[in-house]
A = this chain, B = another copy of it.
Amino acid sequence: MHATLRDANPPLTRSVEDYLKAIYHLSNQGGFAATSDIAAMLEVAPPSVSGMVKRLSETGLIEHVPYRGVQLTAQGRRAALKMIRRHRILELYLTQQLGYDWGGVHAEAEQLEHAVSDELIERMAGTLGNPQYDPHGDPIPTAAGEIEEAELVSLAEAGVGAKLELRQVGTQDPARLRYFAEQGLTPGVLLTVTDRQPFNGPTTIALVPSGDPRVVGRELALLLWCREVPVEQHGHASH
């Protein structure tokens, strides 16, 4: 008589939200996201991903082709875009209204995006004048879950010759953050991909304008989220 039925549409857990976001970023051009890449991005072991993938495809958020990878369903994509909208609005709000700098804002938004309500996000968006782009020119998905394309690519996916601006460092592991900082790999830095080894080997990049080279293993490269910089380098395209 009372609610013993399984909840038809349970709220997504924090973990599920993180997986959906990672899969969205990794399968951006309509392809499949690989288990090991998801694992590297979320800093969990590959079997953890296999387990979660099973649960997510049972609930209809992703499609899984064993040994191939996963793709978001329409429902999963909607959920992922919702998280991305939250993340970008939070980043914008924290920098513009609370004096954060772009260095510290990512980790904070990463936590808050799981806790805020839709109402709060829309109030923040309103305060900011319902922005359509974040300060780096990336589009913010609408509340209805639509987004203009032109997304972040992880350094591990970028082609040789690409000119990139480092935007986000997708880890909170202090040792790694320290390492990246030592290498001069902090958000805002410009770089060019000069070489990529096969077999998921390291990517070689050159910092711009200094030209200093860096070699970044695939696992670390997956944590470095970049925007492809158009040929003319300043400002953002005025859509």
Contacts and interface: CB of A to CB of B under 8 A. Distances in A.
A123 B95 CA distance: 11
Contacts of A112: 112, 115-116
Interface in A71-100: 94, 97-100
Contact of A108 (B97, B98, B114, B117): B117
Most buried by B among A99, A107, A111: A111
Contacts of A116: 108, 111-112
A115 B120 contact: no
Copies of the polypeptide in the assembly? 2
B99 A119 contact: no
A207 interface: no
A99 B115 contact: no
A34 interface: no
Nearest to A113: B115
A115 B117 contact: no
A130 interface: no
A183 interface: no
A104 interface: yes
A80 to B, nearest CB: 19
Contacts of A94: 120
Interface of A: 94, 97-100, 104, 107-108, 111-112, 114-117, 119-120, 123-124, 127
Given A97-B127, A108-B117, A108-B119, 19 more contacts: A94-B120, A98-B120, A98-B123, A98-B124, A98-B127, A99-B123, A100-B123, A104-B119, A107-B117, A108-B116, A108-B120, A111-B115, A111-B116, A111-B117, A112-B112, A112-B115, A112-B116, A114-B115, A115-B115
23 contacts: A94-B120, A97-B97, A97-B127, A98-B120, A98-B123, A98-B124, A98-B127, A99-B123, A100-B123, A104-B119, A107-B117, A108-B116, A108-B117, A108-B119, A108-B120, A111-B115, A111-B116, A111-B117, A112-B112, A112-B115, A112-B116, A114-B115, A115-B115
